[in-house]
Amino acid sequence: MKSGSIAVSLFLLAAGLSSASPANAPQSSASQSTPSQSSWPSPPPGKPWEVFVPKEYNYCLAAAPEPKKYKPVQDAELSFVQLIVRHGDRTNLNLIPHDDTVWDACSHDLDTNVYTEPTKPFPGKTGVKVQQRIFAPHGPKSFAFVYKGGNCESGQLTDKGKEMHRDLGSRLRNIYVDELNFLPKDFTVNSIYLRSTSTWRTKQSAQSLLGGLYPEGHWPSHSYIQLHTLPDLEENMKPNRKSCLYVNGLRSEIEKEKTWTDFLASQDALWKKLYNITDLGVYPLFPDTDSWIGWMDMFEPRVCHNKPLPCTYNPETNKRDLQPCVTREDADIALRNSFYSYIYPKRDSPNATNYTRLVTGSFLNDLSVELKEISSGGSNNGTKCNASQHRFSLYSGHDDTVSSLLGAFKADDKNMLWPPYRSNILVELWKKKNGKHIIRVIYNGKVLTLQPGHQWCNLEGCDLETFTNYLDSLVPQDLAKECRSM
Ligand SMILES: *[C@@H]1O[C@H](CO)[C@@H](O)[C@H](O)[C@H]1NC(C)=O
Ligand SMILES: *[C@@H]1O[C@H](CO)[C@@H](O)[C@H](O)[C@H]1NC(C)=O
Ligand SMILES: *[C@@H]1O[C@H](CO)[C@@H](O)[C@H](O)[C@H]1NC(C)=O
Ligand SMILES: *[C@@H]1O[C@H](CO)[C@@H](O)[C@H](O)[C@H]1NC(C)=O
Ligand SMILES: CC(=O)N[C@H]1CO[C@H](CO)[C@@H](O)[C@@H]1O
Quick: pLDDT tens for 382-432: 456 666 788 999 999 999 999 999 999 999 999 999 999 999 999 999 999
449 domain residue, yes or no: yes
Q: Measured between alpha carbons, how far is 365 from 209 in angstroms, rounded to an integer?
A: 25
Distance, CA of 372 to CA of 177 (rounded, Å): 24
**Residue 153 falls within a domain, yes or no?**
yes
Q: Which ligand is nearest to the CA of 260?
A: 5
Q: How far is CA 433 from CA 74, 80, 364, in A?
A: 10, 16, 28
For the purposes of burial, counting CB atoms within 10 Å of the CB of 226, is it exposed (0-12), middle (13-18) or buried (19 or more)? exposed
| Strand bridging mode 424-432 / 437-443 | antiparallel
pLDDT (0 to 100) of residue 95:
85
Whether the pLDDT of residue 214 is over 70: the answer is yes
Q: Ligand 1 pocket, 272 CB below 6 A?
A: yes
Which ligand has the shortest distance to the CA of 385?
4
What torsion do the CA atoms of 301, 306, 312, 314 make, to the nearest 10 degrees? -120
Report whether residue 351 contacts ligand 2, using a CB cutoff of 6 Å: yes
- Measured from the alpha carbon of residue 368, the closest ligand is 3
**Amino acid residing at 83:** L
| Candidate from 250, 251, 253 with most ligand 5 atoms within 8 A of CB, to mutate | 253
Distances from the Cα of 260 to the Cα of 61, 246, 399, angstroms: 29, 19, 21
User: From CA 68, how far away is CA 174, in angstroms rounded?
Assistant: 9
In a domain, 341, yes or no: no
CA angle centred on 82, ends 237 and 54, rounded to 5°:
80
CA distance 77 to 93: 43
Distances (CA, A) of 334 to 71, 154, 348: 37, 20, 20
Question: What is the CA(408)–ligand 5 centre distance, in A?
Answer: 18
HEC string of 425-447 equals EEEEEEEECCCCEEEEEEECCEE
Domain count for the chain, please give it.
1
* Consecutive H or E run containing 353: helix 352-375
Distance 352 CA to ligand 5 centre (A): 10
**Does residue 386 have its Cβ closer than 6 Å to ligand 4?**
yes
Tell me, yes or no, whether 296 lies in a domain. Answer: no
| CA separation for the pair 337, 36 (Å, rounded) | 13
What confidence score (pLDDT) does residue 282 get? 64
Question: Is the CB of 379 inside a 6 Å radius of any atom of ligand 4?
Answer: no
Gap from CA of 3 to ligand 1 centroid (Å): 22
Residue nearest to atom 13 of ligand 2 (CA): 351
pLDDT value at 446 more than 80:
yes
- CB of residue 252 inside a 6 A radius of ligand 5: no
Q: How far apart are CA 173 and CA 182, in angstroms?
A: 10
List beta partners, residue 447.
Answer: 442
- Integer Cα distance of 126 and 131 in angstroms: 16
Residue 321 lies in a domain: no
259 lines ligand 2 (CB under 6 A): no
Is the pLDDT at 11 greater than 70, yes or no? no
Q: Of 1-10, 214-223, 263-272, which range is least confident?
A: 1-10
| Domain region containing 80 | 9-242+348-482
User: How confident is residue 284, by pLDDT bands cut at 50, 70 and 90?
Assistant: low
For ligand 1, the distance from its centroid to the CA atom of residue 314, given in whole angstroms, is 15
Mutation probe of ligand 3 site: the residue of 365, 375, 381 with most atoms within 8 A of C-beta = 381
CA atoms within 13 A on the CB side of 306: 3
Taking the model in full, what pTM does it have? 0.88
Q: Which ligand is nearest to the CA of 481?
A: 2
> Which range has the worst mean pLDDT, 93-97, 256-260, 370-374, 477-481?
93-97
DSSP one-letter code for 473: H
CA distance 367 to 394: 11
Q: Annotate 55-123 with three-state secondary structure.
A: CCCCCCCCCCCCCCCCCCCCCEEEEEEEEEEECCCECCCCCCCCCCCCCCCCCCCCCCCECCCCCCCCC
d(CA 445, CA 465): 24
The SS3 assignment for 448 reads coil
The closest ligand to the CA of 380 turns out to be 3
Ligand 2 neighbour 354 (Cβ under 6 A): yes
| pLDDT of 18 higher than 50 | no
Residues having CB within 6 Å of any atom of ligand 3: 369, 373, 381
Scanning 24-106, the segments in alpha helix (DSSP H) are: none
- Identify the residue with better confidence: 467 or 294: 467
Show the beta-strand stretches assigned E in 291-375.
Answer: 311-314, 319-325
User: What would the pLDDT profile of 313-353 be if each residue is shown by its tens digit?
Assistant: 999 998 999 999 999 999 999 999 999 999 999 999 999 99
* Residue of 32, 74, 87 whose CA lies nearest to 402: 87
Q: Which of 354, 479, 481, 485 to mutate to test the pocket of ligand 2 (most atoms within 8 A of CB)?
A: 354
Tell me the C-alpha distance between 407 and 274, whole Å.
Answer: 29
Do 3 and 256 meet the contact criterion of CB atoms below 8 Å apart? yes
Give the other-Cβ count within 10 Å of 185's Cβ. Answer: 11
What does the alpha-carbon distance between residue 289 and residue 9 come to, in Å, rounded to a whole number?
8
**Contacting residues for 333 by C-beta, under 8 A, at least 6 apart:** 39, 267, 270
Tell me if 262 is assigned to some domain.
no
Distance of CA 242 to the CA centre of its chain: 20
SS3 91: coil
User: 265, 290 in Cβ contact below 8 A?
Assistant: no
Report whether pLDDT(255) > 80. Answer: yes
Examine residue 86 and state whether it is found in any structural domain, yes or no: yes
Distance CA 257, CA 260 (A): 5
Which residues are registered as beta bridge partners of 394?
Answer: 83, 194
How far, in Å, from the CA of 391 to the mean position of ligand 3? 20
Q: What does the pLDDT look like over 160-206, one tens digit per residue?
A: 999 999 999 999 999 999 999 999 999 998 899 999 999 999 999 99
| Radius of gyration of the chain, Cα coordinates, nearest whole angstrom | 23
Q: Is residue 369 part of a domain?
A: yes
Report the CATH number that the domain containing residue 116 is assigned in CATH. Answer: 3.40.50.1240
